[in-house]
Amino acid sequence: MRTFLSWTPLRGYGGFAATLRLVRFLVVAVLSAPLLAGCLGRTDPAELARSANLVPVAYSGKYFDLIGYERGAGATLRVYIEGDGMAWRTRNRPSSDPTPGTPIGLMLAATDSHDAVLYLARPCQYVEGDQRRNCSTPLWTSARFSEPVIAEMNGFLDQAKARTHASRLKLLGYSGGGCVALLLAERRDDVDAVVTVAGNIDHPFWTRLHEVSPLQNSLNPLDDKAALRKIPQLHIVSRDDAIMPPEIAERYASELGNPDNVRIVKVDGVGHTGDWRDVVPGILTQSGLW
């Protein structure tokens, strides 16, 4: 494993232990009210997408409907996968709607000037009415990385490839979207690179670290280490992220045997729901993967 030099941004995201340390309190705060943990305000996704010439797209799968935004066509499609969104309303009460108030995945996609770009929301985000079919709380809590979730998002990628005439994919996932990106890449043979930003890429370790309930109905990318070792990866983390600290990426890489194609970039000054646009585009340019 190679660890890049640190970047500093130009300007400044059941079952808890009885006595919580501050970090655990912050985890709860993020799950219940993401805006409290960062400095970004609520964002209108449609307006943001229009500003980047991204148009709405939808996928009607076997289990549920997925929403995204897309632009252009080309040989390689760059895919940005959203985080978990508003998974929890309070410490003990899940949200009824996981749509993020601040869609950091979409914000990153909007900075990308590549010919072919796709933003992929997570299940039950941004859907209303009949499009909410089969939406239930486990899809954004314990089963957020379950087989139906990954299978449906995989189908969306197939559809998007055909629509954009792409033959190859590059996947970037923010927060829980990082886990989704790895699970998707494991089952495909057309992914050239995976990038995660503040990624939850080892969720069993993450739940133990913060002493929260395990995601017992979710898949774990590290269950297929052989597949992961074949995928060029870049994991961008912040020393100031109390929710997904660098230890998660470091342990993940260690579990894979620290291969040379798994790289970690550590930055300062960005919280979990901070403005990752300050650092991510420059890192991607320098990485050679994107």
Average pLDDT, the chain: 89
| Res. 32: pLDDT tops 60 | no
Cβ neighbours for 80, distance < 8 A, ≥ 6 positions apart: 105, 106, 108, 109, 112, 117, 118, 119, 120, 172, 173, 174, 177
- Which of 34-48, 91-105, 184-198, 223-237 is least confident? 34-48
Q: What pLDDT score does 91 carry?
A: 66
184 compared with 3, residue with greater pLDDT:
184
In whole angstroms, what is the distance from residue 94 CA to residue 86 CA? 9
What are the C-alpha distances in Å from 20 to residues 25, 49, 106, 262?
6, 39, 32, 33
Does the pLDDT value for residue 264 go beyond 90?
yes
pLDDT digits (tens, 9 = 90+) for 112-122: 999 999 999 99
Across the range 167-195, mean pLDDT stands at 99
Count CA atoms within 13 Å of residue 130 on its CB side: 2
Task: Give ∠ CA 10-100-122 in degrees, rounded to 5.
Answer: 110
> pLDDT of 203-230, one tens digit each?
999 999 999 999 999 999 999 999 999 9
Query: Region 146-161: what's the mean pLDDT?
Result: 98
- The CA distance from 20 to 285, in Å, is 40
Is the pLDDT score of 13 beyond 60?
no
Q: Both tokens of residue 149? A: 């979730």
Q: How many other C-beta atoms can be found within 10 angstroms of the C-beta atom of residue 86?
A: 21
Domain ranges for the chain: 2-287
- State if pTM tops 0.85: yes
Report the pLDDT value the prediction gives residue 242, as an integer from 0 to 100: 97
Q: How high is the pLDDT of residue 41?
A: 61
Give the neighbor-by-neighbor strand order of the sheet with 168-174: 2-3, 262-267, 233-238, 191-197, 168-174, 76-81, 117-120, 65-71, 55-60
CA proximity to 33, closest of 97, 133, 125, 101 = 101
What CATH class has 2-287?
A: alpha beta
